[in-house]
Amino acid sequence: MRNRRTAALPFIFVTLLIDVIGFGLVIPVLPDLVGKLAGGALDYRAHIYGVLLSVFGLMQFLCAPVLGNLSDRYGRRPVILVSLLCTGLDYVIQALAPTIGWLFLGRVVAGITGASFTAATAYIADVSPPEKRAQNFGLMGAAFGLGFIIGPAMGGLLGQYGTRVPFWAAAIASIVNMLYGYFVLPESLALEDRRPFTRKNLNPFKSLGILGREKWVLMLSGAAFLLWLAQQVPPSSWVLYTEYRFGWDKRANGLSLGLLGLASMFVQVWLIRVLSKKYGDKGLLAIGLAFNFVGFIFLGSSSTGAMMLASMVLWTVCFVGGPAIQSLVSQQFDETEQGAAQGALTAIYSLTSVVGPPIFTFVFGYFTIRSSVKVPGSPFFLGAVFTMLAALLARLALGHGKGSTAIEAPS
């Protein structure tokens, strides 16, 4: 049975990959669909788009503990398969959505079923021996990176044939994957290892308390929030900005986001290992903050599409900062609390996907329509401000930490 379960790991990888591809497929066309359904001026459409992204992130944040507890009670297999089925049906809802209200309903369902990542990662833990667990968890990072290369590129290409075509493609992929999993995916959680479904573990804010034991760890977690909040600028504003500033169509945006996925995968798979050996966690954090700041200034100031793409590739080096914070925080907890600490950081990241999109899309809309001073790159400049605040808070945190050396804020 162990061999059969281990053989199901490729299916879990494909499941995660298809989830990310499905999310990426709709990115190049979602702003256009929102515009058609919501109507109104550009600033209003941008605001509705930001709220739509926020609702998706909110549902993921709230429902991840629920699906995790359900998988502990009833097993990983039913939670994963039902989530895949609902994801496929949800994309159908979005493809057929006649009004903006229906599109919101679709994104609510997408956020709920997207929280199935919790059950998928639990499945990996179930079937992996301790010495291979980290290696197998690397499947998640690989799936995210590869999915965000394939998804937006395909979405941009398919979007040329109709705004709703990528939604149909995502629906078919999810349902086919569910049918395949129904026949090949065994259950990984034995009956004797299951536990009752309890309400006390459903509060997503409960996990954050562990970070408040040490003042400097809490401050460093605050820096993480600001850094990850700033990094919500491209997911929420990229398509809006490039359509307005450079007149990019769905194909151009899809390919550019595919390049973003490729560059970020290169950073996370190779560059971070090279820099980590040379500079350590604190050095990585400083590098991540510096490239986040400089990259945003260049992105917001880009006058041509080529400059925008070059600035984007430069900016992706910032992705070394998040893992550095995770590593620094993990060193303050023993083995029995690693899961709780990392879960708290994951909750913080999820919150930024709730707060960030409405902020940055509102700022974009205001400084392109309402303001007398037109600054289309304003979301990127605001991201640079948040990065400066993150750097200052990180400097204070590491200055108070035991045996740590303060880092310099980017300037």
Q: How do residues 90-135 score in pLDDT, each as one tens digit? A: 899 999 999 999 999 988 888 887 756 667 777 777 776 765 665 5
Query: Among candidates 46, 13, 48, 29, which has minimal Cα distance to 152?
Result: 29
Query: Residue 315: what pLDDT?
Result: 97
- Is 244 found in the same domain as 158? no
Choose the final residue of a domain: 184, 216, 243. 184
- Is 241 found in the same domain as 178? no
- Is 302 found in the same domain as 258? yes
pLDDT in tens, the chain (411 residues): 455 555 577 778 887 787 788 878 888 999 999 989 998 888 899 999 999 999 988 888 888 777 777 877 788 888 888 888 888 898 999 999 999 999 999 888 888 877 566 677 777 777 767 656 655 665 666 777 788 888 899 999 999 899 999 999 989 988 988 888 888 888 877 777 777 766 766 677 776 787 888 888 999 999 999 999 999 999 899 999 999 999 999 999 999 999 998 998 888 778 988 898 899 889 999 999 999 999 999 999 999 999 999 999 999 999 999 888 888 887 787 755 665 677 688 788 889 999 999 999 999 999 998 888 899 999 999 999 999 999 999 999 988 765 444 444 443
Is residue 378 in a domain? yes
- Is 299 found in the same domain as 344? yes
Query: Residue 403: what pLDDT?
Result: 41
- Is 390 found in the same domain as 359? yes
Is residue 90 in a domain? yes
Query: Residue 207: what pLDDT?
Result: 66
- Is 224 found in the same domain as 132? no
**Residue 96 structural domain:** 1-184
Is residue 139 in a domain? yes
Is residue 189 in a domain? no
Is residue 197 in a domain? no
- CA 29, 37, 174, 87 dihedral sign is positive
- Is 211 found in the same domain as 179? no
- Is 213 found in the same domain as 123? no
* C-alpha–C-alpha distance, residues 94 and 297, integer Å: 35
Query: Residue 105: what pLDDT?
Result: 92
pTM greater than 0.85 = no
Return the number of other C-beta atoms located less than 10 Å from residue 35's C-beta.
Answer: 20
Which CATH number fits the domain that encloses residue 411?
1.20.1250.20
- Is 218 found in the same domain as 161? no
* C-alpha–C-alpha distance, residues 74 and 81, integer Å: 12
Q: What share of the chain is helix, strand, coil (3-state, %, to 5)?
A: 85, 0, 15
Query: Residue 135: what pLDDT?
Result: 57
Number of domains forming the structure of the chain = 2
Query: Residue 219: what pLDDT?
Result: 93
* Residue that has been written with the tokens 């058609």 in this structure: 36
Query: Residue 244: what pLDDT?
Result: 94
Rg (CA), the chain: 21
- Is 224 found in the same domain as 148? no
Is residue 16 in a domain? yes
- Is 280 found in the same domain as 180? no
Structure tokens belonging to residue 28: 């190049």
Is residue 92 in a domain? yes
Query: Residue 406: what pLDDT?
Result: 41
Is residue 199 in a domain? no
- Is 229 found in the same domain as 177? no
Residues 6+ apart with CB under 8 A from 193: none
